[in-house]
Structure 1
Amino acid sequence: MHQAGSRTVEVDALWRALRAGSKELGFSQIGVAGIDLSSAEPGLLAWLAAGFHGGMDYMAAHGLKRARPAELVPGTASVITVRMDYLPRDTPPDWRAVEFARLAQPAQAQVSIYARGRDYHKVLRQRLQKLADRIAEAIGPFGHRVFTDSAPVLEAELASRSGLGWRGKHTLLLSRDAGSTFFLGEIYVDLALEPTEPTSAHCGSCSACLDACPTGAIVAPHRLDARRCISYLTIEHDGPIPMDLRASIGNRIYGCDDCQLVCPWNRHARRSALPDFDVRGPFAAPTLLQLWAWSEAEFLRHTEGSPIRRIGHARWQRNLAVAMGNALRAPLEAETARAIEAALRERLPQASPLVREHIEWALAQRRALPAAA
């Protein structure tokens, strides 16, 4: 039995509800973390002081509240953590080789795997709330709040402390039996639950993720400079892509999976049990030209319920223009190169200042082409 405030909670009943509910709702693993994250505060402050958060001003604004759950949600005594795998159900065994092959085709458009299906924020938030409801059915009403990458929460820190995995050198959470292709979620609760055991780290001397990062954003083990990260640049950053990083972005137009693709532990990556993360048609094998042709209305229609919609059409075109410029730098069939150049020039007159600057840069990258027959 466990005393919570003025009432007694049956811990076994709570865990039965957690285990049964998590499996039914598509969660792969659950844990419990305490709320004393004081040992993580110096690292957080140093990361912010270095400016590694880039334009994500909300991270600095929230400051140490990220490391103090009881300040974020008064009354919080424990944090229930969950893992949800996101590889699409039909992911082939050689999925990493397939992804690398697409990266080597400059006229193809590369969207991060997690973003090809439904917006994970919606999926996790709804299912976390259902899990909280299951707990309430088992033990009675309790104070709680659910999170999934939606507030100043140190998700990976809480997950590692609760035994869901360890922090890899790329800063993502790693699991020996699931790699890193999963989302994290939390339920802040007013129950002082016994924390689950953390796991030890198993990266050893491996530096594959540091070596593979196209822009050198992983500046040291466990230290990421978001200002150089392709995921940050193509999703969070709302201004021009820095000139010195554009060529390294290649054909990645939304996010980047490289540090995960090279990680040896992702040979154990798991497919999702949910249809929510199945690849939507437009993102199965798109070319840059196909996506560039979308009007804003088409962009909104194709990205409804997708995490991609949040960047808006202008940033979508900015990202595509960079990728198209990189394609023009690469060896391409002359017909494809001409089609890309023509598509860029056609869009130039009505482009916004942000998109126009990237189109002009892209056109300046074109290789000398043989005369058309």
Structure 2
Amino acid sequence: MQGAKETDPAAIKDAIRAKAIELGFGTVGFATAKADTSTKQHLADFLAEGQQGDMGWMQETFERRADPRTLWPEARSIVALGMNYGPGHDPLALLDRPDRGIVSVYAQGKDYHDVVKSRLKQLGGWIHRSYGCELKVFVDTAPVMEKPAAEKAGIGWQGKHTNLVSRRFGSWLFLGEIFTTLDLPPDESETDHCGACRRCLDACPTKAFPAPYRLDARRCISYLTIEHKGPIPRAFRRAMGNRIYGCDDCLAVCPWNKFASRTAEFAFQPRAELTAPRLADLADLDDSAFRALFSGSPIKRVGRDRFVRNVLVALGNSSDSGQAERIEALLDDAAPLVRGAAVWALAQLADPARFEELRAHHLRNEADSEVRQEWQAN
């Protein structure tokens, strides 16, 4: 029996799948570690059009990202895995609460990178001990085309919003991969079940989808609030509303979510302080308070300055003139990024005479060119 377990590919797949489910993964599939010509071309077109924005690492890692065997030549198979992070609430419910900030569902619990990678290592260790193969584990930060790999492995398909959709979990899956030297037969790839639906495309506040299955990251609120390092472009500030970290609009409206279930993973349960945080409290965060509040959270990686920039844009959209004094205090913040966002937010809320008084004063004393431009533009 032991020999059959070690040599029969179908039995090995069944055993890996069972162990993965035991460790908390919701779905498992298998794919070959071969480059896909159409996927590589799609990525090349995306980069050629500059739609990656500030994410220069995508261009730098293009060859490794496009071909798994460039990343690791010994790889023969990919074990693609998904962990359910389905919410137990409507992710869009806070859109009509302008005094509160919206944090993307995926970031309301513990950092999924740590959780998924820990489980991948447990599974990888078991596979290595059981079958004597070599392997590498990846989750998000490595140059791996996760969604195409997951589609090839049959655990979902890339929807029109470019994210993975599962018939069982909707749009709520964290992905991870194990590259292995085991030569395992691939599962049947998943087919597209979007049909004529375009709810995700129509829901996007910034019209970030130039066409179905194409995303211009430079217009995406998730990109703007997380990856983008400079001021939020003026054209998208109003559309951001009160979204302060990420955006779930295109995910939340997917009809396949009717089959989704709330995650049972404790680490992904939302922290109370992130389900409906008061913008006023978040605007007051200094660096140490920011680090303390977001310890163990993916939000921590954007840093205090970018986060408070996002909060200030949301405050500017709140129509709450009572926040003007709080925003005024940030006009002298040490970070130009925060000062510039404070200028715009104050322009939306302050008494015009008071704003002109502040403009005259700060234009005389502001050294940063981008902040000066904000004063001049408002």
Give the TM-score, by structure 2 length.
0.88
Which residue among 278, 293, 298 is the counterpart of 1:287? Answer: 278
Structure 1 residue 180 displacement after superposition: 0.8
SS in 1 for 2:210: strand
Is 1:34 the counterpart of 2:17? The answer is no
Question: For the Cα contact (< 8 Å) 1:181–1:270, is it kept in 2?
Answer: no
| Counterpart-to-counterpart distance in 2, 1:33 and 1:205 | 28
Q: CA deviation at 1:136?
A: 2.2
Distance, in Å, in 1 between the alignment partners of 2:41 and 2:275 is 42
Equivalent pair of 2:128/2:135 in contact (CA under 8 Å): no
SS of match in other structure, 2:289: helix
Q: Within 2, Cα distance between the matches of 1:18 and 1:239?
A: 44
Q: Distance in 2 between matches of 1:25 and 1:306?
A: 22
Quick one: which of 129, 132, 135 aligns to 2:121?
A: 129
CA shift, 1:87, in A, is 2.5
The reply on whether 1:230 has 2:218 as its aligned counterpart is no
* 8 Å CA contact 2:33, 2:179 repeated in 1: no
Q: Are positions 1:65 and 2:64 aligned together?
A: yes
Contact 2:85–2:268 (CA under 8 A) maintained in structure 1: yes
**Cα offset for 1:17?**
3.1
Summarize the alignment of residues 219-368 of structure 1 with structure 2, pairs less than 5 Å apart.
219-328=210-319, 332=320, 337-338=321-322, 340-366=323-349
Aligned 1:16-55 pairs, distance under 5 A: 16-36=14-34, 37-55=36-54
CA contact (8 A) 1:13 1:138 kept: no
User: CA 1:206 to 1:12, structure 2 compared with 1: closer, same or farther past 3 Å?
Assistant: closer
Q: RMSD of the TM alignment (CA)?
A: 1.7
Query: What is the identity percentage for the equivalent residue pairs of Structure 1 and Structure 2?
Result: 45
Contact 1:217–1:229 at 8 Å: present in 2 too? yes
Runs (4+) of structure 1 moved beyond 6 Å? none
Segments of 5+ residues of structure 2 without an aligned counterpart are 353-378
Report whether the alignment pairs 1:9 with 2:7.
yes
Give the SS at the match of 1:365.
Answer: helix
Tell me the CA shift for residue 272 of structure 1: 1.8
SS in structure 2 opposite 1:205? coil
Q: Is contact 1:77-1:189 (8 Å) kept?
A: yes
1:83 maps to 2:82: yes
User: Matched residues in 2 for 1:44 and 1:359: separation?
Assistant: 37
Shift of 1:138: 2.3
State the partner residue of 1:4: none
Report the secondary structure of 1:83's partner residue. Answer: strand
Question: 1:83–1:185: 8 Å Cα contact kept in structure 2?
Answer: yes
Letter matched to residue 186 of structure 1: E
Shift of the alpha carbon at 1:292? 1.4
Structure 1 unaligned blocks of 5 or more = 2-7
Q: Tell me, in whole angstroms, the C-alpha distance in 1 between the residues paired with 2:333 and 2:160.
A: 44
Partners of 1:35 and 1:11 in 2: CA distance = 16
User: Shift of the alpha carbon at 1:266?
Assistant: 1.1
Counterpart Cα distance in 2 of 1:63 and 1:136: 29
1:243: Cα distance to partner?
0.7
Equivalences, count: 347
Residues 17, 134 of structure 1: 8 Å contact kept: no
- Please give the TM-score of this superposition, normalised by the length of structure 1: 0.90
Q: Is the 8 A contact 2:160 2:213 kept in 1?
A: yes
Q: Which one-letter code corresponds to 2:301 in the other structure?
A: R
Q: Which amino acid aligns with 2:7?
A: V
Stretch deviating more after TM superposition (250-259 or 194-203): 194-203
What is the alpha-carbon distance in structure 1 between the residues aligned to residue 16 and residue 55 of structure 2?
A: 34
SS of 2:140 mapped into structure 1: coil
- The answer to whether the Cα contact below 8 Å between 1:147 and 1:186 also exists between their aligned partners in 2 is yes
